[in-house]
Amino acid sequence: MSSDLAKTDTLKRSFDEKTNKNNNKPNASDHIDTASKKPKNDETSDGCYNSSRERSVDDQEDDLEDNASIQIPYGGIRSKENEILKPKNPDQPVRIGKNSDDEKYVFPKITKEDTQNARMFLKYYGLRKFLDTYLPEELNSLYVYYLIKLLGFELKDKDVMGAVHEYISPLIYDPSSTIRQKSLNYEEFEDPLEKRHAVRLIKDLQKAINKVLSTRLRLSNFFKIEHFVDKLQKANKILVLTGAGVSTSLGIPDFRSSEGFYSKIKHLGLDDPQDVFNLDIFMQDPSVFYNIAHMVLPPENLYSPLHSFIKMLQDKGKLLRNYTQNIDNLESYAGIKAEKLVQCHGSFATASCITCHWQLPGEKIFDHIRKLELPLCPYCYQKRREYFPLEHDEDKDYEDEYGYNTNLRDNLNNNLSTKTPIAGTVLKSFGVLKPDITFFGEALPSKFHKTIREDILECDLLICIGTSLKVAPVSEIVNMVPAHVPQVLINRDPVKHAEFDLNLLGFCDDVAALIAQKCHWNIPHSNWVNLKNKKIEYVEKDKGFYNVFVPANSANKKETDDTNS
C-alpha cells in the first residue's frame, strides 16, 4: 500500500471485496470522511462551541455516543509543544488469527497501557496515521471491533455483540498463553459478519474515534501537588474557571449538590428545577423567578479566601483571566479587575428592563427581591398599569426609588402602543426589571466570545475550582485548551466526565491555603492570619488524586468548620 493511502480506504476496499460477492455492500466512506478529516456530526455554526447557555448534562460515560460540539482535530495534535505527549509506536499492526482447533478468531491481549497508548497515538498523530499504523493491509470487520475495544469502548447493541461473539474465541493471544502464534492461521480469510453488522461496527468505530479526539488525555508528567506548585511559580498566563463551590464557605448554596439550591425548590412543582432560570418561563411569568430569587441573592462586599487567592494571582501578574459561572459578583468585591474577569452567566451587578432595556445597578432591586416583589421599570410603569390595572391597587413611587428622567419616559411612552391590547397578548414580564444573569436559552455575554478564543491558546495553566462542569458552553473550555497545558481541579468531588491531570479534593478555601503555604505566598484576605499557619494535610488516593483536609484533632478544626459552613 502506498504511504498516502489511508486505512479508511483499505477498510472500504476490504468490505467492498467481501460484499460485492453477495451484493451486500457497506460503504465505509459514508461514515468516515477522509477528505474533510472531520466527523459528519452536528456542529455549531462556528464549528467551535454553542453560544447560549445550555441545561445541565449528565456525566458522560465511556459509551459510543458522541455529544461533543467542539472542533475535532482529525489531523492530530503533533507539535513541538505537545512533544511530551508523544506515544509509543506499536511493534506491528494488529493481527487477528484463526484458531485451527475451533475455527474461531483469537484477539490479541489488550492492557490498560495499550488502550492509553492507542488513544494518545490517535490524538497525537491523527486518524490517518492511527489507522495506517494499527491496521494490516488485509482485514475484515472483526478488526473494526478490535479497534473499538482497543480504544476502551464496548458495544451496547446486543444483536451486533451476538454476531461478533459467535466468531470470537474466548481465548486471548499473548506470549505466555497456551495459544501459540504457530497454531493460529493469519492467511487471508473471509469476513464472517453480515453487511448490516459491518456497517454498524464502522459507525461505532467512528463514534469511538470522535469521543477520543474530543476528550482530553492526562499528562504523564503532571500529577503531584509538587508539580502544581512548581508550575504556579513559573506560569504567567493562568486561566481560572470557577463555579459555585468557591462561594459556599460564605453560606451561599451551590446548585446541584444534595443540599444545593435546586434540591431546595422541588416543592415548587416544576418539571425541572432549572426552569426557575428559564428565559421563556420568565417572560411568561416572572414571579416564578422572584419567588425564589432571595435564596440566591448574594451578600454585599463579602468574598472568600479562594476569591482572594485568585486576586493574589492577579497581583503577581500571573492571571490571564478568571471565567466565573457564578452570578454573585463576589470576584469584583475581592478586587479582581474587570478586564481580568468574565462573568459567563452574567451577575446581579446590574439589572435591566425586559421591555425598554433601561439598566440600573443591581443593588437597587435587592430590597424588592428580599420582599418577594416584582421590581418594575419606572419608564414602563404607567403603560404596565394600563395593561394590568388590578395589580396596582397601591401606587409605588418608582420615580423616587430608582431615579427618573421624564424626557426618557415621554420618549418611551410615545414608542409604546397607546391602544389597549387584547387580553392575554401582553406578557406578564412587561416592564419588569430582570437581574442581568444569563438564563437558560439566553445568549452568553459578548465578552465571553471575544476573549475565549485567544485565552485558550495563550494560557499555560488551567485551574478549575468549585464546579461540576455540567453547563455548556463553559464546560467545554477544558477540552478546548491545548493538550500540553496542565489542568488542575480544586473541588469537593471529582468530575468524572473530565480528565484533569491533578485533582485536589476538599474545601476550596483549605486547598487554596495549602497551595499558598507551599508557594510561600500570602493570600490578601482578612482570614489569612489564621490560615497561614493552619495545619492542612493531604493524602494521595490514586495517581493525580489527593484528598485535602484539616485533621479532626487539629486545634484549627473549629475555625475550618466555621469558615466552610
Q: Measured in whole angstroms, how far is the alpha carbon of residue 233 from the centre of its chain?
A: 27
Reply yes or no on whether the pLDDT at 268 is more than 80. Answer: no
Reply yes or no on whether the pLDDT at 68 is more than 70. Answer: no
Reply yes or no on whether the pLDDT at 98 is more than 60. Answer: yes
Active site residue 345: yes
Cell numbers for 262 = 435546586
Please tell me which residue in 345, 357, 392, 484 is annotated as part of the active site.
345
Identify the residue with better confidence: 422 or 444: 444
* Whole-structure pTM value: 0.69
Distances (CA, A) of 180 to 100, 105, 138, 172, 559: 11, 13, 21, 10, 65
Quote the CA–CA distance of 409 and 168 in Å, as a whole number. 79
The dihedral built from the CA positions of residue 333, 337, 343 and 344, taken in this order, carries a sign that is: negative
Contact 54, 444 (CB under 8 A): no
Cell numbers for 457 = 491558546
> What is the helix, strand, coil percentage profile of the chain, to 5?
40, 15, 45
| Average pLDDT of the chain, as a whole number | 79
Quote the CA–CA distance of 468 and 489 in Å, as a whole number. 10
Confidence of residue 271 (pLDDT cuts 50, 70, 90): confident
Looking at residue 554, its pLDDT comes to: 63
Looking at residue 211, its pLDDT comes to: 87
Phi, psi of 463 (to 5 degrees): -120, 120
pLDDT in tens, 307-323: 999 999 999 999 999 99
- Go through 345-366 and write b for each residue having 16 or more CB atoms within 10 A of its CB, e for each that does not: bbbbbbbbbbbbebebebeebb
Quote the CA–CA distance of 109 and 178 in Å, as a whole number. 13
Looking at residue 299, its pLDDT comes to: 82
Confidence of residue 170 (pLDDT cuts 50, 70, 90): confident
Q: Hey, how many other C-beta atoms are within 10 angstroms of the C-beta on 148?
A: 21
Looking at residue 215, its pLDDT comes to: 80
Closest Cα to residue 348, out of 429, 283, 433, 446?
433
Confidence of residue 41 (pLDDT cuts 50, 70, 90): very low
